[in-house]
């Protein structure tokens, strides 16, 4: 990886981590409002997916085929939109699981950083291993607690997301500064 690529990755991480910190702070101080906003966004996105799928179904070339994947996705998206609109708290059970998966996948992509730092025998390798391990553990914690009452643990999720974001910036910063 070149210095330029490492710098781009760092700035992308900085922006996404800043958004995560903002999200974490909102979850920490305004959990109900944040969950309602997320539910409304999911409702809008599911409705748009449903409309798009319905449009693709109605404008398909092969009209002889009665069942099409687009109509199935559309119906599922519409059902999800209605369920989330009627009961916004239904989505709250999935938030920790989705965030935990994102955190683990994002951390796994950073394994390349560790390989590079180890190969170059960099002094920051140990710090990066610790940071990487903490990021994965935080993601696992969110997934394991996904079935608990989310409204009671939104503060914990906010803290975990904020801490994860800080660790993500640290590991990206260390990597950027150690690329030759």
In degrees, rounded to 5, the angle at the alpha carbon of residue 135 between the alpha carbons of residues 132 and 138 is: 150
Residue 33 has pLDDT above 80, yes or no: yes
Between 98 and 180, the higher pLDDT residue:
98
| Residues 116-137, mean pLDDT to the nearest whole number | 81
pLDDT band at 147 (very low <50, low <70, confident <90, very high): very low
| Residues 17-40, mean pLDDT to the nearest whole number | 82
| Residues 11-26, mean pLDDT to the nearest whole number | 84
pLDDT band at 180 (very low <50, low <70, confident <90, very high): low
Burial of 20 (0-12, 13-18, 19+ CB in 10 A): buried
The DSSP letter of residue 66 is S
- Put simply, whether the predicted model's pTM sits higher than 0.75 gets the answer no
Cα dist from 118 to 37, 123, 127, 175, whole Å? 43, 9, 11, 11
Could you state, in order of their start, the residue ranges of all structural domains in the chain? Answer: 3-178
Q: To the nearest whole number, what is the mean pLDDT of the chain?
A: 79
């Amino acid at each position: 990886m070149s210095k330029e690529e490492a710098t781009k990755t760092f700035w992308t991480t900085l922006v996404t981590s800043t958004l995560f910190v903002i999200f974490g702070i909102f979850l920490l101080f305004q959990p109900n409002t944040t969950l309602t906003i997320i539910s409304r966004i999911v409702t809008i996105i599911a409705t748009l997916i449903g409309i798009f799928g319905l449009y693709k179904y109605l404008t398909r070339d092969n009209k002889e085929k009665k069942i099409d994947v687009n109509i199935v996705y559309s119906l599922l998206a519409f059902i999800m939109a209605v369920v989330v609109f009627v009961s916004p708290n239904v989505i709250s059970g999935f938030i920790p699981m989705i965030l935990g998966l994102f955190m683990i996948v994002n951390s796994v992509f950073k394994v390349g950083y560790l390989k590079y730092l180890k190969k170059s025998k960099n002094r920051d390798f140990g710090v990066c291993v610790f940071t990487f391990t903490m990021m994965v553990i935080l993601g696992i914690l969110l997934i394991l607690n996904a079935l608990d009452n989310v409204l009671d643990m939104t503060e914990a999720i906010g803290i975990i997301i904020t801490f994860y974001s800080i660790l993500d910036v640290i590991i990206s910063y260390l990597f950027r500064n150690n690329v030759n």
